[in-house]
Amino acid sequence: MMPSRSKDPPALPNAMMHRMAVLILALGASIGSWVSPTGADEATLGGPFELIDHNGLTRTAEDFRGSYPLIYFGFTHCPDLCPTSLTAMSRAVDDLAQQAPAKAERVIPVFITVDPERDTVEAMKDYVGNFHPRLVGLTGSHEQIDHVTRLYGAFSAPVPGGNGEYLMDHSGFIVLMGPGGEYLTHFESHVQPAELVEELDRRVAE
Ligand code: NI
């Protein structure tokens, strides 16, 4: 079940969220350190990280070697984008399991929070259970989250919400990494499960 407040519309109009995103992208480009899955630096995405999973266990990039992590950045208070993307990822893993079980087993859906302040281990455990039994939720310190966000060319920024709450504007892509920790491809946040399944079936080795 989703928290009831996720039914509330965002307090900020979408246009303002978009302007902020454009501003952040422009700022990133101007300091020359920005990498984006849609840019030219895709080959450099990924790298060593250390985070804490939704069971409180330390997880590093090395733990995912030999698997195909399907990674999404977001936050548990997200009203729409995150639930949509995580639902699509979960559906895709289940559908792939029907047609190619050995491949599906090698795909690990991963949800990395950009809101470590609120997304504690307990909050992540409650949340990932809504989507898929194999979904791995990852959180950590602000420094650890900043680090992994940069590694994957993701972005996030807090924006004021209602009732003194805040939302996180964030990138919405889903990244598929390979068994050696290499970038393979990425998908838009509103990708259909069928498209995900087709691409996973094509890219994942048994
Ligand atoms: Ni979101």
Mean pLDDT of the chain, nearest integer: 85
Contact 46, 182 (CB under 8 A): yes
CA distances from 190 to 173, 174, 179, 187 (A): 9, 10, 25, 8
Would you identify the CATH topology of the domain 49-203? Glutaredoxin (3.40.30)
**CA 101 – ligand 1 centroid, Å:** 29
Tell me: the pLDDT tens digits for 142-197?
999 999 999 999 999 999 988 888 999 999 999 999 999 999 999 998 899 999 99
- Domain layout of the chain by residue ranges: 49-203
User: Is it the case that residue 43 has pLDDT exceeding 80?
Assistant: no
What would the mean pLDDT of 77-93 be, rounded to a whole number? 95
pLDDT in tens, 2-14: 343 333 344 444 4
pLDDT at 162: 83
The least confident of 22-31, 82-91, 116-125, 187-196 is 22-31
Distance 95 CA to ligand 1 centre (A): 23
| pLDDT of 104 over the 90 cut | yes
- Distance of CA 145 from the midpoint of ligand 1 (Å): 15
Ligand 1 mean position, distance from CA 82 (Å): 4
Distance from Cα 46 to the centre of ligand 1, integer Å: 21
pLDDT for 110 equals 98
pTM of the predicted model as reported, rounded to 2 decimal places: 0.81
The alpha carbon of 139 and the centre of ligand 1 are apart by a number of angstroms equal to 15
Residue 11's pLDDT is 43
| Environment of ion ligand 1 (residues, CB < 5 A) | 74, 78, 81-82
Calpha distance 42→35 (Å, rounded) = 7
pLDDT bracket for residue 39 (50, 70, 90)? low
Q: What is the arithmetic mean of pLDDT over 94-98?
A: 98
- E strands, the chain, are 50-53, 58-60, 68-74, 107-113, 136-139, 156-160, 166-170, 174-177, 183-187
pLDDT of residue 52: 98
85 CA to centre of ligand 1 in angstroms: 8
- Give pLDDT, residue 36: 54
